[in-house]
Chain A
């Protein structure tokens, strides 16, 4: 009896903690597939809907950045750093990084064709969802 109650409580807590996240833009970008988002953040894909797209990252120590990497890039931060050194030889730069979701939102609201990722609960009416995922 008790183990069942305990299990139910733990499961409920887990569900409550499961976060929902979104790739956002300022309404100028259409919805994108997972592989397109990966290509944008690796700077393999730079134009969407005839606009130069600007991907925005959170700081490398941010937990949401880790979740994003796991969901879309499938690559460790060390390997990603190596990737960008190789890209330096090919003439490509890593995406800009911001410290907080607040600054990501502010940038995206002001800069056309920029995209970033934040928690779903932090979205406002000026932003549109390009892709949504959860833990």
Chain B
């Protein structure tokens, strides 16, 4: 079914308007329908192993009419991987097409919005713009994949006020299976969560908490609770972002802490330096790690991103270098 969708979307491209700017997508004729996408290629060097990967080849479509809007996104994940070790080499290819997002929005009035479908869980800041080309490093913090479900399939109700500063409250409700549970960090059949965001000029503060149920295990600890506190400060050249999370199950702590703080500085219009410090402890896997990441990003234009980074871990075998090219179109 997804392949039919992708063929339709590509067919729409042929009817796209002439004027095109990279990173802005295209409009289909004069209809309020837009198409876009992104892809990423990366290289990783770790423990004398070199990995080359074509990842995240995605096509998205969205549009709006009156108070309604929609978003659809399909993606090839890890489309091709080639790995070289000291003695051998091997390759793999995942040609499955995954459904990343599919939702419809209804703006009831200036304060209330309803969403139904599969969407990025609006938790923290990083998870809202999680794709390589839009983030500052090739890697993502541990907290993003290990505290809460990245995607929710169900309802999202939000209230926003812009009277003076921005205040946004949202509630996520999932009581069903995932639209595509192969594309989520946790396979879940329930997720209930809320978030509150406060924004004033360059400062943003957010609190999220919730509960989800893992559908892929009968483990006694399949029910999870999480809490996440996030903060962001942003100027023209500088951004400081931090998230701190905690996860528990049945009154037992599964992840007592997982956190990062990341500073990025645009020292030339196209050049960005990044420093991220992370720390986490997972009691289920019994892994505790702290790491520092030094990164550099070059963007000849914003939708094209060349990134490099080196990670220094307290678990030395996890040290790695990453290089990537990502493009949004």
Instruction: Report A's interface with B, CB cutoff 8 A.
Output: 33, 35-36, 38-39, 44-50, 52, 74, 76, 78-79, 81-82, 84-86, 88-91, 93
Contacts and interface: CB of A to CB of B under 8 A. Distances in A.
A74 to B, nearest CB: 7
B31 interface: no
A78 to B, nearest CB: 7
A88 B328 CA distance: 9
B166 A84 contact: no
Interface string B69-91: 11100000000000000000000
B135 to A, nearest CB: 10
A88 B36 contact: yes
Given A44-B160, A74-B201, A84-B24, A89 B134 contact: yes
Given A47-B67, A79-B236, A88-B25, A35 B109 contact: no
Given A52-B67, A89-B60, A45 B328 contact: no
A87 B64 CA distance: 14
Nearest to B38: A89
A44 B162 contact: yes
A74 B107 CA distance: 26
Nearest to B162: A39
Interface residues of B, number: 34
A76 B38 CA distance: 25
A52 B62 CA distance: 17
Given A84-B24, A88-B328, A91-B71, A44 B166 contact: yes
A50 B60 CA distance: 29
A35 B164 contact: yes
Contacts of B38: 89
A33 B164 contact: yes
A45 B110 contact: yes
A33 B166 CA distance: 12
Contacts, number: 70
Contacts of A44: 160, 162, 166
A88 B23 CA distance: 8
B28 to A, nearest CB: 13
Contacts of B300: none
A91 to B, nearest CB: 4
The 9 A-B residue pairs with the shortest CB-CB distance in the complex, in nearest-first order: A91-B62, A39-B162, A85-B23, A91-B71, A47-B110, A47-B107, A36-B162, A35-B162, A82-B302
Contact of B166 (A39, A52, A76): A39
Contacts of A48: 110
A101 to B, nearest CB: 23
Given A45-B110, A50-B109, A78-B269, A86 B162 contact: no
A74 B234 CA distance: 12
Contacts of A46: 107
B162 A88 contact: no
A93 to B, nearest CB: 7
20 contacts: A35-B163, A35-B164, A36-B162, A44-B162, A45-B110, A45-B160, A46-B107, A47-B67, A47-B107, A47-B108, A48-B110, A52-B67, A81-B302, A85-B303, A89-B38, A89-B60, A89-B131, A91-B62, A91-B64, A91-B69
Contacts of B71: 90-91
B301 to A, nearest CB: 9
A49 to B, nearest CB: 8
Contacts of B34: 88, 91, 93
A5 B148 CA distance: 69
B26 to A, nearest CB: 11
Contacts of A35: 162-166
Contacts of B129: 86, 89-90
Contacts of B36: 88-89
A30 B23 CA distance: 35
B18 interface: no
B66 interface: yes
A85 B109 contact: no
Contacts of A74: 201
A90 to B, nearest CB: 8
A36 B166 CA distance: 9
